[in-house]
Amino acid sequence: MSDFALGSGAASAPAGRPWYQNKKLDQYICFWSIPIFYNLFGLVFVPLSYMMPPRSPSSDMSEIVAFMQSPNLLIASSILILSLGLSAVGNAMYVSQIKRMSVSPVFIYAFLAGSMTGAIVGCLFPMFCFGLGAFRPGYDPEILAMLYDFGYLSFIGSLGCFCLNWGLLSLAIILDKNTILPKWLGYYTAWQFATELFAATVWAYKTGPFAWDGLMAFWFNMVIYVPWQIIVYVCIFKAIKAQPESELGNAQYEPKALYS
Amino acid sequence: MSTRGQGILLWLTPVAGVFFLIAYVLFPGFSPAMSPTMTPEQVGLFFQENVTAVRGVAILVNLVGAMLVPFFAIIAVQMMRMANSSPVLAYSYIISVGIGMTAFLLADYCWGVAAYRPDRDPQLLSLLNDMAWFFFITPAGLIVVQNLCLALGIYFDARPEPIFPRWVAHFNVVTAVLMIPGAFAIMNKTGPLAWDGSLSFSLRLATFTAYVAVMFFVLLGVTKKQTAEEGAMS
Amino acid sequence: MTNTVETASAEDFYGRDTQTSLPGESSMWFFILGDLIIFGVYFISYMYYRGQDQALFLESQQHLSQGIGISNTVVLLTSSLFVALGTEAARHGKRQHAYRLIGFAFVLGLLFPVLKMAEWLPKVNAGLTPGENLFFMYYYLMTGLHLCHLVLGLVILAFVMRDLRVSTAPNIKFIEAGGTYWHMVDLLWLILLALFYLMR
Residue type (1 letter), C26: S
Nearest of B181, B190, B192, B153 to residue B169 by alpha carbon: B153
pLDDT of residue B3: 82
pLDDT of residue A1: 41
CA distance C51 to C2: 65
Q: Distance, in angstroms, between A131 CA and closest chain B CA?
A: 8
Note whether residue C44 is domain-resident.
no
Nearest Cβ partner of A215 from C30, C31, C45?
Answer: C45
Are C and B close enough to touch, i.e. 3+ CB pairs under 8 angstroms?
Answer: no
Look at the alpha carbons of B43, B46, B52, B56 in this order and tell me if their dihedral is positive or negative: negative
Q: What is the mean pLDDT of residues B2-11?
A: 88
pLDDT of residue C6: 44
Note whether residue C37 is domain-resident.
no
Note whether residue C100 is domain-resident.
yes
pLDDT tens, residue by residue, B172-221: 999 999 999 988 888 889 999 999 999 999 999 999 999 999 999 999 99
Residue C4: is its pLDDT beyond 50?
no
Q: What is the mean pLDDT of residues C79-87?
A: 94
Which residues does chain C have within 8 Å of residue A209's beta carbon, measured at their own beta carbons? 45, 49, 134
Which residues does chain A have within 8 Å of residue C134's beta carbon, measured at their own beta carbons? 208-210
- This prediction has a pTM of 0.88
Nearest Cβ partner of B186 from A74, A87, A125?
Answer: A74
Per DSSP, C17 falls in state: B
Residue C7: is its pLDDT beyond 70?
no
- Domain harbouring C101, CATH code: 1.20.120.80
Q: What is the mean pLDDT of residues A6-33?
A: 72
DSSP annotation string for C144-177: HHHHHHHHHHHHHHHHHHHHHHH-SS--HHHHHH
Q: What is the mean pLDDT of residues C179-197?
A: 93
Nearest Cβ partner of B89 from A30, A82, A120?
Answer: A30
* Contacts across the A-B interface (CB distance below 8 Å): 169
Residue C19: is its pLDDT beyond 70?
no
pLDDT tens, residue by residue, C33-51: 999 999 999 999 999 999 9
Q: Does residue C141 sit at the A interface (CB-CB below 8 Å)?
A: yes
pLDDT of residue A4: 38
SS3 A55: coil
Per the CB < 8 A criterion, the answer to whether C37 and C184 are in contact is no
> Between chains, do B87 and A99 touch, taking CB under 8 Å as contact?
yes
Per the CB < 8 A criterion, the answer to whether B54 and B80 are in contact is no
Q: Distance, in angstroms, between A215 CA and closest chain B CA?
A: 32
Q: Distance, in angstroms, between C8 CA and closest chain A CA?
A: 33
Nearest Cβ partner of A209 from C26, C34, C45?
Answer: C45
Note whether residue C187 is domain-resident.
yes
More confident residue, A158 or B56: B56
Note whether residue C99 is domain-resident.
yes
Q: What is the mean pLDDT of residues C169-192?
A: 92
- As a residue count, chain A comes to 260
pLDDT tens, residue by residue, A238-256: 999 999 988 888 888 876 6
Nearest of C148, B2, C5 to residue A200 by alpha carbon: C148
More confident residue, A9 or A137: A137
> Between chains, do A84 and B160 touch, taking CB under 8 Å as contact?
no
Domains identified in chain C, total number: 1
Note whether residue C16 is domain-resident.
no
Q: Distance, in angstroms, between A187 CA and closest chain C CA?
A: 6
pLDDT of residue C21: 67
Residue A258: is its pLDDT beyond 60?
no
Note whether residue C110 is domain-resident.
yes
Nearest Cβ partner of A201 from C28, C41, C141?
Answer: C141
pLDDT tens, residue by residue, C60-76: 888 888 889 999 999 99
Note whether residue C180 is domain-resident.
yes
Nearest of C171, C185, C145, C153 to residue C24 by alpha carbon: C171
Q: Complex ipTM, two decimals?
A: 0.89
pLDDT of residue A251: 83
pLDDT tens, residue by residue, B51-84: 999 999 999 999 999 999 999 999 999 999 999 9
Residue type (1 letter), C46: Y
Q: Can you give the residue range of the structural domain that contains C176?
A: 66-200
- As a residue count, chain B comes to 234
> Between chains, do A84 and B184 touch, taking CB under 8 Å as contact?
no
Per-residue pLDDT band for B232 (boundaries 50, 70, 90) equals: low
Give the 3-state secondary structure of chain B.
CCCHHHHHHHHHHHHHHHHHHHHHHHCCCECCECCCCCCHHHHHHHHHHCHHHHHHHHHHHHHHHHHHHHHHHHHHHHHHHCCCCCCHHHHHHHHHHHHHHHHHHHHHHHHHHHHHCCCCCHHHHHHHHHHHHHHHHHHHHHHHHHHHHHHHHHHHCCCCCCCCCHHHHHHHHHHHHHHHHHHHHHHCCCCCCCCCCHHHHHHHHHHHHHHHHHHHHHHHHHHHHHHHHHCCCC
